[in-house]
Amino acid sequence: MPTPIDFYFDFSSPYGYLASERIDALAAKFGRTTDWHPVLLGAVFKETGMAPLTSIPIKGDYSRLDFARSARYRAVPFNMPEKFPISTQTPARIMLWLKGNDPARAVRVAHALYRAYFVHGTDISDVDQAIAVVAEHGVDRAAARAAIADPAVKDALRHEVERAMARGVFGSPYMIVDDEPFWGFDRLDQVEHWLAKGGF
């Protein structure tokens, strides 16, 4: 049984969102599954001295253009949210909590959260708004609210981020296929080639 593709993403990452719309189909094409890992880029950026793309002079304006163009290029619905970037503890904790109980639903909920933010502009950093999104997928509102505030869930997310950084993850999306790392939505082509050839 081939190992899953590790898919690291931050819920505030436009390229992470774009990758989230392609990664499962890509994996399935080669008989693979995907292991979805929500991470917090804020913690990672502290280590690397990096900053959100849109905050960098000159490069920031280009990035906004490239988010939208890359979405059109791959025919993924996309609208740049007015509030950007956002802190993503809330959606990441919900995803991680669900993952422990029902991984398939966790992925459906992750898709719903990402689309709420990057298609409809919903502020998923807000607890009430995030809960409204996941409730549409049968998640119990009170249980979700409790999970977001649960020290054990907070710890689990902290450990997930630490494990990701220990594996070298420094951006979103970041894919690891059989120990080979790939960073960026624009590396899915190389991921596909890697899976097809078994390395290159």
Does the footprint of a copy of itself cover residue 198 (CB under 8 A)? Answer: no
Of 128, 138, 161, the C-alpha closest to 11 is 161
Q: What is the distance between the alpha carbons of residues 171 and 10, in angstroms, rounded to a whole number? A: 8
DSSP conformation class of 5: E
What is the smallest separation between the CB atom of 98 and a copy of itself, expressed in angstroms? 29
Q: Which of residues 85-114 bind a copy of itself (CB under 8 A)?
A: none
Does the footprint of a copy of itself cover residue 189 (CB under 8 A)? Answer: yes
Owner of token pair 């059989």? 178
Does the footprint of a copy of itself cover residue 37 (CB under 8 A)? Answer: no
Question: Hey, what are 193's tokens?
Answer: 């080639």
CB 27 within 8 A of CB 38: no
What is the smallest separation between the CB atom of 183 and a copy of itself, expressed in angstroms? 6
Residue type, 7: F
Residue span 114-153 as binding mask against a copy of itself, x where in contact by CB under 8 A, dash where not: ----------------------------------------
> Among residues 33, 54, 70, 87, which is the contact residue for a copy of itself, using CB under 8 A?
70
Q: In this complex, which beta carbon is closest to a copy of itself, that of residue 28 or of residue 50?
A: 50
Burial class (CB in 10 A: 0-12, 13-18, 19+), 145: middle
Total H helices, total E strands in the chain: 10, 4
What is the smallest separation between the CB atom of 194 and a copy of itself, expressed in angstroms? 9
Applying CB under 8 A, which part among 8-16, 22-30, 35-43, 189-197 lies near a copy of itself?
189-197
What is the smallest separation between the CB atom of 144 and a copy of itself, expressed in angstroms? 33
Q: What is the distance between the alpha carbons of residues 13 and 21, in angstroms, rounded to a whole number? A: 13
DSSP conformation class of 198: T
* Residues at the interface with a copy of itself (CB under 8 A): 47-50, 56-59, 61-62, 65-66, 69-70, 72-73, 165, 168, 170-171, 181, 183-184, 186-187, 189-190, 193, 200
